[in-house]
Structure 1
Amino acid sequence: MAEIVIRNTQERIKGEENVLAFLDKQGVLYEHWDAGKLDASLQEKFVLSDEEKQQILNTFDSEIRDLAGRRGYKTWDIIALSDATPNLEELLKKFESVHTHTEDEVRAITAGRGIFVIKGDEETGYFNVELEAGDVISVPETIPHFFTLMDNRQIVAVRLFIETEGWIAHPYEDPTFQKA
């Protein structure tokens, strides 16, 4: 279950009801899928073959198609990141700068953990959404944010897109943002 940390106060928000209410107020979609339905051999595997990626997509096919139908997503894939990922540091530098997109950024975590850092309303400021297997988040296109790995540096996620080109970031300069 996701947890939220308000960066300027270090307040921690826990519990499905509280997390849902907070993210809804910020305009961020959150839901939870049953990560336990994934084959046990894939629940802690972070280097995946194309066949294993397809197995993950097949496992969550009904959830993916339901979300895609509700939100207009047309394509999806799997991203797997770990210390075994070639050029991981370069990828993280690209991910770890505040940006926006021309469409929602959607991630359904199937294994591992990660953090979305999102710019909230004026009262809240930036907050972290700590995600684990089963958590699904959609950050709206206009909300500044970025994604990074947690200390274990391992994650597998389904990415859903409206644009067939996939992930296109637009830098967002914010002098108020401070890295943690």
Structure 2
Amino acid sequence: MAEIRLRNTNERITGEENVKAFLESQEVLYEHWNPDVMPAHLKEQFILTDENKQEILTAYEHEIKDLASRRGYQTWDIVALSEATPNLDAILKKFEDVHTHTEDEVRAIVAGRGIFIIKGTPEVGYFDVELEAGDVISVPEHKPHFFTLMDNRQIVAVRLFIETEGWIAHSFADPEFIKT
């Protein structure tokens, strides 16, 4: 289940309803999908073949199509990252700069853990959303954020896009952001 850490105060927000209410107040969509839909033999797999990826997309087809129809997403894929990913540190470095997009950034975590760092309202400042299997988040377009892995450095996520070529990151230099 997702947890939130407010960077300014180190306060933690837990519990699905509390997390959902907080994120809604920050204009971020949060849902929870049943993690048991993930095929059992893939739950601890972080190196995936194209066939494995298709199996995951098929397993979550109902949830993906429901979210896509409600939010206008046109295409989706699977991203899998782990220590076995070639150039993982270079990939993460690209993700770990505050940026925005011209469309939502959506992740449905199906295995492993990840974290979004998002710029909230002025009174909230930056906050971390720690995600695990079953957590679905949509950071709205133009909202400063970045995504990275948790300490275990492994994740499998469904990504959904409005533009069929995917999103492009636009760097967002922010003197208020301090990496912690």
Judge same fold: TM > 0.5, yes or no. yes
What residue number does 2:113 align with? 113
2:34 aligns to what?
34
Correspondence for 1:43: 43
Contact 2:102 2:167 in 1 (8 A): no
CA deviation vs aligned residue, 1:59-112 (integer Å, no higher than 9, x gap): 000000000000000000000000100111111010000000010000000000
| Secondary structure of the corresponding residue to residue 110 of structure 1 | strand
Cα distance, 1:167 vs structure 2:
2.7
| Corresponding residue of 1:178 | 178
* Aligned residue in 1 for 2:94: 94
TM-score for both structures, normalised by structure 1:
0.99
**Quick one: which amino acid aligns to residue 20 of structure 2?**
L
* Partner of residue 83, structure 2: 83
Match of 2:153 in 1: 153
Instruction: Report the aligned-residue RMSD.
Output: 0.5
Q: Name the SS for the 2:100 alignment partner.
A: strand
Residue 39 of structure 1, CA deviation: 1.3
In structure 2, give the amino acid aligned to 1:138.
Answer: S
Query: Which letter does structure 2 place at the counterpart of 1:94?
Result: K
Counterpart of 1:13, as a letter, is I
Correspondence for 2:2:
2
Aligned equivalent of 2:66: 66
Which segments of structure 1 move beyond 6 Å, counting only runs of 4 or more?
Answer: none
**Distance in 2 separating the partners of 1:93 and 1:108:** 21
Q: Which ranges in structure 2 are unaligned for 5 or more consecutive residues?
A: none
Amino acid aligned to 1:106: V
Measure the CA separation in 1 of the matches of 2:158 and 2:39.
15
